[in-house]
Amino acid sequence: MVDYELLKMIVEAPGVSGYEFLGVRDVVVEAFKPYVDEIKVDKLGNVIAHKKGNGPKVMLAAHMDQIGLMVTHIEKNGFLRVAPVGGVDPRTLIAQRFKVWIGPNEFIYGVGGSVPPHIQKPEQRNKAPTWEQVFIDIGAESREEAEEMGVKVGTIITWDGRLERLGKHRLVSIAFDDRIAVYTLVKAAQELGETDADIYFVATVQEEVGLRGARVSAFGIDPDYGFAIDVTIAADVPGTPEHKQVTQLGKGTAIKIMDRSVICHPTIVRWMEELAKKHEIPYQWDILLGGGTDAGAIHLNKAGVPTGAISVPARYIHSNAEVVDERDVDAGVKLMVKVLEEIPEFKL
């Protein structure tokens, strides 16, 4: 079972790419404090939690940024024009509630809008809205009123999402991509047993806009081994044939073999499989033909870093209602703990 209160704090804190300081960064720092020897925030904003050891230097990365919106223009009548920060589909804005962040942990509400279908031409109704056709309504009647409410060009916006239970084992929330993996990092640090590994738990920034935090933090740490934790697609839904589902909820943590950004080191992949079997941890495979993770930046650091990765299967990613199975989350925590405990004896 997941630590619901810890997870809730992590997933519901604001932190769009480049603006992680709005809330999530402080939450992550406090969550790591009891379990590591030192914590620092680097110049780009990555949280680096170091548990010192005399063995191999290991970097575990999970990104704490989330996708969102940025205000690009305030209309004369108070509506907000926006642009995506990360991979946002404009279809996911319509008739949704939003939080417009006018300061750290300070927001006003907004609603995603577009031209009503009742007055659209027939040919328009069958097309997905474009960014030119969507806007955010904050209830202001003028540009001046919107500015008085604290909104300006560059203001950051997130969905108004929250963590909830869904059935017996499932959870639904905003920002499981990738806060569920940040939670996994914290729990791995909490449950870690004896190990000589020199461990760097890194909650990275700006993954959603190009793996930027992982790139600079890997350069600074210069690890012997790297591991990334992220979500992956679980397309185990009606209409998707089994061979295209990528992963399935409830079948265990997903050991990554390949995605668009990385081919994980084959020896590490097989070793992780052996650990999962040895400790009876349920697992499945992750081959994702679209999308990438922080592993893509880590493995290219300097002269190269042998890198592996695990993924949390998730439905409906990049929305305000992403769904995971807590059994998969727990399996991921257990596998990463075993990786850290046994990596001093691992040989490529």
Domain boundaries, the chain: 4-66+174-345, 68-159
Distance CA 224, CA 303 (A): 11
pLDDT tens-digit profile of 147-183? 999 999 999 999 999 999 999 999 999 999 999 999 9
Three-state DSSP state, 327: helix
Any idea which residue has 């010192």 for tokens? 52
Cβ(205)–Cβ(47) below 8 Å: no
The annotation status of 299 as a binding-site residue, yes or no, is: no
Residue 124 has pLDDT above 80, yes or no: no
Which residue, 303, 241, 227, is CA-closest to 58?
A: 227
Active site residue 273: no
How confident is the model at residue 129, as a pLDDT?
A: 84
Distance CA 100, CA 158 (A): 7
4-66+174-345 shares its CATH topology with 68-159: no
Q: Residue 53: phi, psi to the nearest 5?
A: -160, 170
The annotation status of 318 as a binding-site residue, yes or no, is: yes
Structural class in CATH, domain 68-159:
mainly beta
Which range, of 124-133, 163-172, 212-221, 319-328, averages the lowest pLDDT? 124-133
CB atoms within 10 A of CB 26: 17
The annotation status of 65 as a binding-site residue, yes or no, is: no
Q: Residue 156: phi, psi to the nearest 5?
A: -95, 145
Fold of 4-66+174-345: Aminopeptidase (3.40.630)
Q: What average pLDDT does the chain have?
A: 96
Handedness of CA 242, 171, 290, 130 (dihedral sign): positive
CA angle centred on 48, ends 44 and 54, rounded to 5°: 140
207, 322, 326, 341: the catalytic one is: 207
255: left (phi over 0), alpha (psi -120 to 50) or beta: beta
pLDDT tens-digit profile of 62-114? 999 999 999 999 999 999 999 999 999 999 999 999 999 999 889 999 999 98
Task: Please report, for residues 77, 273, 310, 348, the alpha-carbon distance to residue 268 in angstroms, rounded to integers and kept in the order given.
Answer: 57, 9, 11, 7
Indicate the pLDDT class of residue 287, thresholds 50, 70 and 90. very high
Length of the chain equals 348
Cβ(96)–Cβ(320) below 8 Å: yes
Indicate the pLDDT class of residue 123, thresholds 50, 70 and 90. low
Mean pLDDT of 289-318: 96
Residue 120 has pLDDT above 90, yes or no: no
Residues contacting 208, CB < 8 A, separation 6+: 17, 63, 65, 66, 67, 85, 86, 87
In percent, the amount of the chain with pLDDT more than 90 equals 93
Which residue, 194, 196, 214, is CA-closest to 204?
A: 214
Residues contacting 75, CB < 8 A, separation 6+: 81, 135, 143
